[in-house]
Amino acid sequence: MTDYWSIVAMTVLITIASGVLLWGIDLCCRHEVAMLEQRARNGEANGLRGGNQGLSFHERENGR
């Protein structure tokens, strides 16, 4: 019976840890996209995009 509860506890622990890890990765990605958008708005962007273009996914929908 102890083995059963150990497996259940490990499954719950791994599920929670995976969720926290995915949440952290999502948070970091959102922060990075926000920083890139801010740099683009401030005219500091380099590479293929011009400085006056934002990186927002919804730019075309809003008519900007």
Contact status, residue 52 vs residue 42, Cβ threshold 8 Å: no
Residue 53 phi/psi, 5-degree rounding, is: -105, 130
The answer to whether residue 14 scores a pLDDT higher than 70 is yes
Residue 40 has pLDDT above 90, yes or no: no
**Over 80: is that where the pLDDT of 33 sits?**
yes
Q: Please say if the pLDDT value at position 41 is more than 80.
A: yes
Please report the DSSP string for 11-48 in residue order: HHHHHHHHHHHHHHHHHHHHHHHHHHHHHHHTT---SS
The pLDDT of 19-34, averaged and rounded, is 95
Q: pTM for this structure?
A: 0.55
**Domain extents in the chain:** 2-62
More confident residue, 31 or 54: 31
Greater model confidence, 26 or 63? 26
